[in-house]
Amino acid sequence: MDVKIESSWKKALKPEFEKPYFKELVEKLKAEKETHTIFPKGVDIFRAFDLTPLDQVKVIILGQDPYHGIGQAHGLSFSVPKGIKQPPSLKNIFKELQSDIGITPPQHGDLSSWAKQGVMLINAMLTVRAHEAGSHQSLGWQNFTDQVIQVISEKRENCVFILWGNYARNKVDLIDQTKHKVIQSPHPSPFSANRGFFGSKPFSITNAYLKENGLNEINWAISE
């Protein structure tokens, strides 16, 4: 199956694209589009891969599924395009960013600048129906994104996996912790941020680990 995705990922994930579950996923997605509005738009489904090639991955921030409001999802976990109101979880991420390393929250919520530095912003489900959270959990995306996590774990070294919330934390067994750093905390959602997300210092911990291993630190500041 010819999937339009960045070349290094296309090579690494080629076996997945030929598996029955992925072909079924594509057919289910086509059927969904006949009767529902699907986010993000097709060109953005693999945007996290396009902005962060496999050989450049240094950090992985795993979300659950895309935002389901109009104009929010653009293929990067927790991120929204410029001009779109910041969702509550993203506002809390920026609060922790300021508390952790003193960066003033930006006016917009586009995290593309992180992705271009090697921060893989990936959701476990890459699509969702409009206004229906979790509506594509049965399509088979988890089979694919679990493999993505394993590919990064196997082919890269000294990456930082940031797992926020129980859903993401359940993926820890896919990661070889002898060669990668795992940071776990509650989700930045307003429902759980006060239970340990605030004060978890993921940004400074990430940069300290990258520096220790001779890698360039992430510039977490987001330009306006």
Residues that are catalytic: 65
Q: Point out which residues pair with 164 in neighbouring strands.
A: 185
Q: What are phi and psi of 63, to 5 degrees?
A: -105, 180
- Residue 132 DSSP SS3: strand
Note whether 165 and 64 are within 8 A (CB).
yes
d(CA 135, CA 125): 9
CB-based burial label for 121 (10 Å; 0-12, 13-18, 19+): buried
Note whether 74 and 81 are within 8 A (CB).
yes
d(CA 164, CA 209): 18
Q: How many Cβ atoms are within 10 Å of 177's Cβ, its own excluded? A: 11
Q: How many Cβ atoms are within 10 Å of 43's Cβ, its own excluded? A: 11
d(CA 79, CA 172): 23
- Residue carrying structure tokens 């079924």: 24
d(CA 72, CA 56): 26
